[in-house]
Homo-oligomer: A and B are copies of this chain.
């Protein structure tokens, strides 16, 4: 027997957010902010290189002027790189300045020349533990993003939601304990970013989203998995063009209590990055409403 066919109500258009990677080939952050405002997209999630290019204070001013919500900052992490500590400190400061709902952690892959996956994973857990006090103090929730297993060597050797939640457990961010501390329903200090591209295949997806619960579900990223996929990194699809059952995954998230943004993040060198960003944004709006 197949799982019941859950078709939730259409998503709230106010929850749509633009991860600026989606249009980064043609627009800087200032243009992205104006574009979101022009298209009635209420959330934005910038990347730090674009933030540096615009200047943090200028970005804060423009985002505030347009009344946008910063649904995340991309990215901290890379705990297996040399300068990880200073870089994550700066990322926390920037996320704080932006009032970002979370700092997304892409945790890093194997160190150069290493095959020691278990060792890298321990290094990552210890790195997160090391920056957690500063994140707490700054009021910046840290969202561990499990990346697709095909990125294990190069970008992140946290590759399943279960593994990310085990790290949350190991670092003492017990869900019930934290609820007692901060009041049920509040956003936790440490949790996960659920990107459908990375986790859609996972047989334990529903179970682990339920396990995470509202406090640990800090971000929800959407796009689609294309068949065929021509590149391991930059061939993501627009919602509706691939095989991911987006309404089903959203209903898992909502069932676990998630009521945050739906952030579109599309790396697409061959297709969407080549198009007029205004067309990309109106397509995102349309597909979000109809296909997710």
Report A's interface with B, CB cutoff 8 A: 1-3, 110, 114-119, 121-122, 148-150, 152-154, 157, 159-160, 162-163, 166, 200-203, 225, 227-229, 232, 242-245, 248
Contacts and interface: CB of A to CB of B under 8 A. Distances in A.
Contact of A201 (B152, B162, B201, B229): B152
Given A122-B1, A160-B203, A201-B117, A243 B153 contact: yes
Q: How many copies does the complex hold?
A: 2
B228 A154 contact: yes
A96 B244 CA distance: 39
Contacts of A3: 116, 118-119
B245 A116 contact: yes
Given A2-B118, A153-B227, A166-B203, 20 more contacts: A1-B122, A2-B119, A3-B116, A3-B118, A3-B119, A114-B243, A115-B248, A116-B245, A149-B149, A149-B150, A149-B201, A149-B202, A150-B150, A150-B229, A150-B232, A153-B225, A153-B242, A154-B227, A163-B203, A229-B232
Contacts of A163: 203
In the complex, the 5 A-B pairs of residues with the closest C-beta atoms, listed nearest first: A2-B119, A152-B201, A3-B118, A115-B245, A149-B201
Contacts of A148: 149-150
A149 B116 CA distance: 21
A110 B245 CA distance: 12
A21 to B, nearest CB: 19
26 contacts: A1-B122, A2-B116, A2-B118, A2-B119, A2-B122, A3-B116, A115-B244, A115-B245, A117-B200, A117-B201, A121-B203, A148-B149, A149-B150, A149-B201, A150-B229, A152-B200, A152-B201, A153-B201, A153-B225, A153-B243, A154-B228, A157-B201, A159-B203, A162-B203, A228-B232, A232-B232
